[in-house]
Structure 1
Amino acid sequence: MSKARENRDDLSYRPVPDAKGRSRKGEARRMAMPRSLRRQPGNRALASICTHHHIAVFLLTFFSYSLLHASRKTFSNVKVSISSQWTPTFLNSTAMELQPYELWNSSHLFSSAEEATLFLGTLDTIFLFSYAVGLFVSGIVGDRLNLRWVLSFGMCSSALVVFLFGTVTEWLHFYNKWFYCCLWVLNGLLQSTGWPCVVAVMGNWFGKAGRGFVFGLWSACASVGNILGAFLASCVLKYGYEYAFLVTTSVQFAGGGVVFFGLITSPKEVGLPELDAEEKNVVEEDANRPLMSSEDVDDYDRNYSIQASDSSIQPKAIGFFQACCLPGVILYSLAYACLKLVNYSFFFWLPFYLSNNFGWREAEADQLSIWYDVGGIIGGTIQGLISDMLRKRAPVLAISLLLAVGALFGYSRSPDSKPINAVIMAVTGFFIGGPSNMISSAISADLGRQELVRGSSEALATVTGIVDGTGSIGAAVGQYLVSLIQENLGWMWVFYFFILMISSTVLFISPLVVREIRLLLQERRLRRLTG
């Protein structure tokens, strides 16, 4: 058995003669190279297994999470309107004051716009903390219940809560800080069902071949949702902010119904082989290649029979703490906590920053903020494709994040010009939103389907929940800090804070970067030796 293994892995193994007795050195060396070091035609293999079911799953999961993000984006897009509604309008001394004061001024929860802004930041923090807690739970629940049920329930119930928060309270002229806080806690818990479920469904349908490109393109769903939410809000904002909530929640509720009746969560539901079975067949086919001479065939046959029996053993499902101990999970989770803080700060505060800092109208600021998401879409797709070509993720992330530091510094000094601001904003989104999309989708899928948990049906959504949940905790703390720093020190110090967080992200993934660069150099050296 050991002799056969040595023969299979030895790169100096003797040439295999062809039918005419000639030595095929190049072919023998190529076939003798370990499979993990041979470049696989990822995108070609992906195209060969793609069916109409794959396309339907891609589109359904894409737009379901886009709708969830659109309803979140609506809140950030109408912050100026909500703040003005919650604070009194200062009139001159000759203006008539309507009585009774409590009736006509019940919407004035705060005495100044600064207090209202601080409370809006508190609501963001409350949402993200409850969202983070929900992610840890939703990943486990999604793995043990039907993913379609969990996702559709989260979409429909979240739509109802946001409708109650933004539309019903305004129609009834009911304003209460504690009621808003309770609704936003519930909304965070319900919205948390979305991401682990859609990533798990995508992971069930799409294997590692071309995963960086597919998930990089697919993870644009959040940015598309942001664009959709900003567009819908800007179209109806002139009628009142309550109609912005009404439109987005109606579309989200309808999307939840489509998901419930149309989403296929696994290939086995339509009679197709599961992903693990397909990948296992590829490995077995590769193992059957004739790597040895005739005198070693008997040893190889005995070795292969043992390997085949071992490969039939399926790993048991893993729990939460076991998932935390998987290689790379903790480091990527901590890195994502810092990165998501910055990404979600742009998500929640960018329209407000543009209105507050440059004095632009709220509708114009909403439309201009779209360019950050456009940059994130392009960045996630291109960086995912590059990581597929290298078959390594961490070095691509590190380079992008280092460039993000320069982009943030440049954007903090952007002039009062909308075209220039939009260009720098898109570049910033490319280098920040792109890595964020990669960690939350492709890398989470890689971590949930690595060799240690191959075949586990309870790993993918759990790992996704851990990574995204830890990221959301960082983002939750960040939203309160952003409002605090902005109020006391100004926007420039907010950008310095962002640069510090991006640098911390690079620090956390640096061990992974070093390890993957070493592997790249080893693979390059081996390919050079094998011709």
Structure 2
Amino acid sequence: SHHHVVVFLLTFFSCSLLHASRKTFSNVKVSISKQWTSNAFNTTLELPIEIWSSNHLFPNTEEATLFLGMLGIIFLFSYTVGLFISGMVGDRLNLRWVLSFGMCSSALLVWLHFYNRWLYCCLWIVNGLLQSTGSPCVVAVMGNWFWKNGRGVVFGLWSACASVGNILGAFLASSVLQYDYEYAFLVTATVQFAGGIVIFFGLLVSPEEIGLQVLKQFASTRLLPGSLAYTCLKPVNYSFFFWLPFYLTDPLSIWYDVGGIIGGTLQGFISDILQKRAPVLALSLILAIGSLVGYSRSPNNKSISVLLMAVTGFFIGGPSNMISSAISADLGHQELIQSSSEALAMVTGIVDGTRSIGAAVGQYLVSLIQDNLGWMWVFYFFILMTSCTILFISPIIVREIISLVE
């Protein structure tokens, strides 16, 4: 019905706007680092001397970069804790209220800027908690409207919201970054706040709100033990998400998101045909290892970098998108918890929260490895974590392959 289309679009763009807000921070790291250091006055910014002097917080770019990395880690840990909380809150309150509150409050918070290290840390902690309302709520709403049959391709297409948000955030930030990095935050926050208002008045949480009845179908419980595998995969995906814009001056990082969009949709479609998700994930992750090796040894050629980045996004971003959407929805309606019709947000929060723990730790390890051993060892770390993901889901892979053969 047209209600399904409206729900799909509203949840899609609400999630996209939240990701755009996070992506803005990644895209303005270079500008922030320049403006916050005492020896990095950049005439292209055309900042008056008195404004620049009041804004610099660090004596050199190395300390500024280290602090920005710490802010990212703080945000991820706060976001991780918030996912567990938001999942439980979303199941007990109206999902529309929780999502709208998180979007609007987070947008207002991003508008605030204090040139003080400790205040920035506090702001990013609260911002992580508010941003965490997004994932559990939107997946729960989508799970209420779209059931088992065809869920893979629907959620595969819907999971492109993260990549679309990354692209949107990069576009919005770059369009005003020439004036000041604060304008980038202002633009994305304004759009996000408007989206939160639309969600509050326009989103239908479930078909029951308009008198529709849905035949609920429950998924298998066998994918639930895979949370440890998801914890290993997210550091790889989030490392590309947080650090690519910082180390690539060209908009090449967008192609990773493009690959993730195509990968999540196509892999969701194939998993619907097979009625199994683990074999599709396993094949994609095996090929992801090859793409990581190729990307780490790629020549200094823009066209080749674009191709390899898209391929890497396809095989890493695609599975990550499918895990965070379709598989979370499967778990939320499994037989183990079917006695609780309001558990989907909680399950999504648990799955995403578990993975985010790995992402938060991974961000620290990436910066540590890069500083001490170089980028080649960072890719070795990515390969190790991807291999561990395959290892942890191997029992599920074996069971589902045997069931397909039988």
Common fold by TM > 0.5: yes
Percent identity, aligned pairs only, is 76
1:118, 1:484 within 8 Å by CA — same for their partners in 2? no
- Give the deviation of 1:104 after TM superposition: 6.2
Deviates more, 1:391-400 or 1:105-114: 105-114
In 2: Cα distance, 1:205 partner to 1:420 partner: 41
For residues 65-80 of structure 1, what are the structure 2 equivalents within 5 Å? Answer: 65-80=15-30
For residues 122-161 of structure 1, what are the structure 2 equivalents within 5 Å? Answer: 122-161=70-109
Deviation string 1:408-447 (CA, Å, 9 cap, x unpaired) is: 1111122222222111100000000000011111011111
Does residue 1:236 correspond to 2:176, yes or no? Answer: yes
For residues 187-336 of structure 1, what are the structure 2 equivalents within 5 Å? Answer: 187-276=127-216, 279=217, 327-329=222-224, 331-336=225-230
In 2: Cα distance, 1:242 partner to 1:115 partner: 20
Deviates more, 1:425-434 or 1:334-343: 334-343
1:410, 1:424 within 8 Å by CA — same for their partners in 2? yes
Deviation string 1:103-159 (CA, Å, 9 cap, x unpaired) is: 963433222222211111111111010101000011111011100000000000011
Which 4+ residue blocks in structure 1 deviate beyond 4 angstroms?
none
Amino acid at match of 1:69: H
Amino acid at match of 2:398: V
In 2: Cα distance, 1:458 partner to 1:486 partner: 43
2:27, 2:170 within 8 Å by CA — same for their partners in 1? yes
In 2: Cα distance, 1:480 partner to 1:180 partner: 18
SS of the residue 1:239 aligns to: coil
In 2: Cα distance, 1:389 partner to 1:130 partner: 38
Aligned with 2:342 (options 458, 463, 473) = 458
In 2: Cα distance, 1:336 partner to 1:162 partner: 29
Deviation string 1:312-366 (CA, Å, 9 cap, x unpaired) is: xxxxxxxxxxxxxx6432x3211111111110111100011224xxxxxxxxx3x
In 1: Cα distance, 2:58 partner to 2:376 partner: 26
Amino acid at match of 2:279: P
In 2: Cα distance, 1:480 partner to 1:80 partner: 19
SS of the residue 2:55 aligns to: coil
1:398, 1:506 within 8 Å by CA — same for their partners in 2? yes
Does residue 1:56 correspond to 2:6, yes or no? Answer: yes
What is the match of residue 490 of structure 1?
374
In 1: Cα distance, 2:311 partner to 2:211 partner: 44
In 2: Cα distance, 1:338 partner to 1:204 partner: 28
Amino acid at match of 1:193: T
Deviation string 1:373-432 (CA, Å, 9 cap, x unpaired) is: 000000000000000011000010011001101111111122222222111100000000
In 1: Cα distance, 2:49 partner to 2:209 partner: 65
Does residue 1:179 correspond to 2:119, yes or no? Answer: yes
Amino acid at match of 1:203: G
What is the match of residue 426 of structure 1?
310
- Give the deviation of 1:473 after TM superposition: 0.8
Amino acid at match of 1:505: T
In 1: Cα distance, 2:405 partner to 2:4 partner: 35
1:233, 1:244 within 8 Å by CA — same for their partners in 2? yes
- Give the deviation of 1:455 after TM superposition: 5.0
SS of the residue 1:428 aligns to: helix
In 2: Cα distance, 1:99 partner to 1:225 partner: 35
Aligned with 1:511 (options 395, 401, 406) = 395
Deviation string 1:253-292 (CA, Å, 9 cap, x unpaired) is: 000000000000000111110342xx59xxxxxxxxxxxx
Segments of 5+ residues of structure 1 without an aligned counterpart are: 1-50, 92-97, 281-325, 356-364, 523-531
CA RMSD after TM alignment: 1.7
Compared with structure 1, are the counterparts of its residues 110 and 328 closer, same or farther at alpha carbon in structure 2 (3 Å cutoff)?
Answer: same
For residues 363-378 of structure 1, what are the structure 2 equivalents within 5 Å? Answer: 365=250, 367-378=251-262
1:332, 1:467 within 8 Å by CA — same for their partners in 2? no
In 1: Cα distance, 2:304 partner to 2:40 partner: 35
For residues 432-443 of structure 1, what are the structure 2 equivalents within 5 Å? Answer: 432-443=316-327
Deviates more, 1:403-412 or 1:68-77: 403-412
In 2: Cα distance, 1:498 partner to 1:160 partner: 35
What is the match of residue 45 of structure 2?
none
Segments of 5+ residues of structure 2 without an aligned counterpart are: 42-47
What is the match of residue 404 of structure 1?
288
What is the match of residue 34 of structure 2?
84
Aligned with 1:116 (options 64, 72, 78) = 64
In 1: Cα distance, 2:401 partner to 2:165 partner: 35
Compared with structure 1, are the counterparts of its residues 512 and 87 closer, same or farther at alpha carbon in structure 2 (3 Å cutoff)?
Answer: same
In 1: Cα distance, 2:40 partner to 2:271 partner: 56
In 1: Cα distance, 2:343 partner to 2:193 partner: 29
In 2: Cα distance, 1:104 partner to 1:393 partner: 53
In 2: Cα distance, 1:66 partner to 1:409 partner: 30
Report which of the two structures shows the higher radius of gyration computed on alpha carbons.
1
- Give the deviation of 1:71 after TM superposition: 0.4
In 2: Cα distance, 1:198 partner to 1:54 partner: 13
Does residue 1:478 correspond to 2:372, yes or no? Answer: no
TM-score w.r.t. the length of structure 2 is 0.95
Compared with structure 1, are the counterparts of its residues 180 and 269 closer, same or farther at alpha carbon in structure 2 (3 Å cutoff)?
Answer: same
In 2: Cα distance, 1:57 partner to 1:104 partner: 45
2:145, 2:206 within 8 Å by CA — same for their partners in 1? yes
1:229, 1:248 within 8 Å by CA — same for their partners in 2? yes
Compared with structure 1, are the counterparts of its residues 243 and 428 closer, same or farther at alpha carbon in structure 2 (3 Å cutoff)?
Answer: same
1:332, 1:439 within 8 Å by CA — same for their partners in 2? no
Amino acid at match of 1:407: S
- Give the deviation of 1:209 after TM superposition: 0.4
In 1: Cα distance, 2:40 partner to 2:172 partner: 30
In 1: Cα distance, 2:214 partner to 2:122 partner: 42
Deviation string 1:53-99 (CA, Å, 9 cap, x unpaired) is: 001000000000000000000000010001111112269xxxxxx99
What is the match of residue 44 of structure 2?
none
Number of equivalent positions: 398
TM-score w.r.t. the length of structure 1 is 0.73
In 1: Cα distance, 2:133 partner to 2:278 partner: 27
In 1: Cα distance, 2:30 partner to 2:192 partner: 23
